[in-house]
Every structure is written in C-alpha cells, then in structure tokens.
C-alpha cells in the first residue's frame, strides 16, 4: 500500500468520503477536514508508517497532494 | 518597558474559532490522549482534568483559543505553534494567553504586545475570540504612530 492509498484508508476510517479526491483537492474546503481530524490523521499515519510528523506543519498543509509529499518526506527521514 | 508609560492600546489583529466538542472527544477516544499531548502543554493538561476525568468543554475551549491565536498570527504571515500558545487561568478564573519560544518572537514581529481572549461554550460547541494589541508608550523606544 503506497502513501496515497494509506491516506485514503485513514480518511475512510474517519468517515471522510475520498470519492473524486485528487492531488489538488483542498483539505479544508473540498474535503471538509477540520483541525481535529487533521491531528487524528497525523496520529494514525505515524502509527501505520512509523514516521514522525510535526503537528504544526501537518495542520498547515493545504492540499491532498501536499499531504502525500509531506508524509513521503517524513518516511525518507525515518 | 522601564521608564515608559503606556498611553494607548491599538487592536492589531483578531482571530476566532469554533470547535465541536463531540468531534474532539471522539477523536481522542479513537486515537488516545496522544492527540491532546500534541495540542496542550503539561500545564494545560493539568487544568483540563477534573475529578471525573477530562473536562471536554475546557479542552475544546483551549483548542478554539489556540486556533483563534493561530489565525490572528496567520494574518501577518507568522506561525503560532500549538504548544507555544498556552491558555492558562487568571486570578479571577478568566482565560489568559501565555506565548513561548518562536511564537513569542512571531508576536514581536507582528507588533503584538498583548493578547486578550474570551472563551464560551455550551453542550455541543466551544468558541474563542482572541484580540491582539499593540501598546503605545510615551517616552519609550517602542513608540509607534
């Protein structure tokens, strides 16, 4: 399972509909993800991929593509 | 500021945020208190624990106040970090904001010398409004027009 698939799986766990999701999809406006959910996504990703994510940086991400890139960079550092 | 007299306060920024208490509680119940460890300082964690466990309205109110502060700082292109914005309790029970580390420096760059916060909640939601002030001094070096 790659990063994109893992993130979509986590979104499903949170009952966030990933239908039609694209790299350009805006996390807050298009996917209606709020700050609480972003923190929860960060915690879930850390547990699944054994990476360390900075909460402030993660919550400042704008798009789904930004999120994939950020998690991929964290995985390289891990 | 030693030797300087504050003559006026100017509002230089405003932030507001609304938090759904049940959503926050559900997230913590699903993932554990590690979520709170990321958002609250040890001082704050002490303040939101009551005799029967976490006081969710208090957790959500602090969360909202931090988000409101982040919005205020974001308006001048600065980042306020979750655990560097501390929502404490004043002597009359009122909330007060204490800034630390890089967020304190960010406040200086924004020209914010003081923050005031108001928090309110009912069963389902908590809301917070944060105002950033710049104090103007007479006879001090930090005098602004």
| Shortest CA gap A76–chain B (Å) | 22
| Average pLDDT score over chain B | 91
pLDDT digits (tens, 9 = 90+) for B85-140: 999 999 999 999 999 999 999 999 999 999 999 999 999 999 999 999 998 876 65
Closest-CA residue in chain B for A42?
Answer: B35
| Matching residue, tokens 């979104």 | A11
Classify burial at A78, counting beta carbons within 10 Å of its beta carbon; exposed 0-12, middle 13-18, buried 19 or more: exposed
Q: How much is the ipTM here?
A: 0.81
| Shortest CA gap B141–chain A (Å) | 34
B73 vs A17, A42, B16, B42, B144, CA distance in Å?
A: 31, 23, 12, 23, 19
Q: How far is residue B135's CA from residue B139's CA, in Å, rounded to a whole number?
A: 13
| Shortest CA gap B30–chain A (Å) | 9
Chain B positions contacting chain A at CB under 8 Å are 19-20, 23-24, 27, 30-32, 34-35, 38-39, 63, 67, 79, 81-82
Phi, psi of B24 (to 5 degrees): -65, -45
Model-level pTM? Answer: 0.87
Contact B64, B44 (CB under 8 A): no
- Name the pairing type of β-strands B53-54 and B85-89: unpaired
pLDDT digits (tens, 9 = 90+) for B18-64: 999 999 999 999 889 999 999 999 999 999 999 999 999 999 999 99
């Amino acid at each position: 399972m790659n990063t994109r698939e893992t993130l979509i799986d986590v979104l499903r766990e949170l009952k966030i509909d990933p239908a039609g999701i694209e790299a350009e999809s805006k996390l807050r406006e298009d996917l209606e993800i709020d700050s609480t959910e972003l923190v929860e996504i960060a915690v879930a990703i850390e547990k699944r991929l054994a990476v360390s994510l900075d909460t402030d940086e993660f919550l400042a991400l704008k798009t789904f593509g930004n999120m994939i890139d950020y998690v991929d960079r964290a995985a390289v550092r891990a | 500021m030693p030797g300087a007299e504050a003559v006026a306060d100017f509002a230089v920024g405003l932030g507001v945020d609304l938090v759904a208490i049940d959503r926050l509680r559900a997230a913590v119940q699903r993932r554990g208190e590690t979520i709170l460890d990321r958002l609250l300082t040890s001082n704050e964690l002490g303040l939101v624990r009551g005799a029967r466990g976490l006081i969710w309205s208090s957790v959500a109110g602090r969360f909202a106040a931090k988000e409101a502060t982040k919005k205020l700082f974001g308006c001048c292109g600065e980042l306020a970090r979750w655990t560097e914005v501390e929502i404490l309790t004043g002597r009359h029970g009122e909330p007060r904001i204490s800034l630390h580390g890089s967020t304190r420096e960010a406040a200086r760059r924004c020209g914010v010398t003081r923050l005031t916060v108001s928090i309110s909640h009912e069963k389902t939601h908590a809301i917070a409004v944060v105002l950033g002030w710049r104090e103007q001094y007479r006879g001090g070096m930090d005098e602004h027009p």
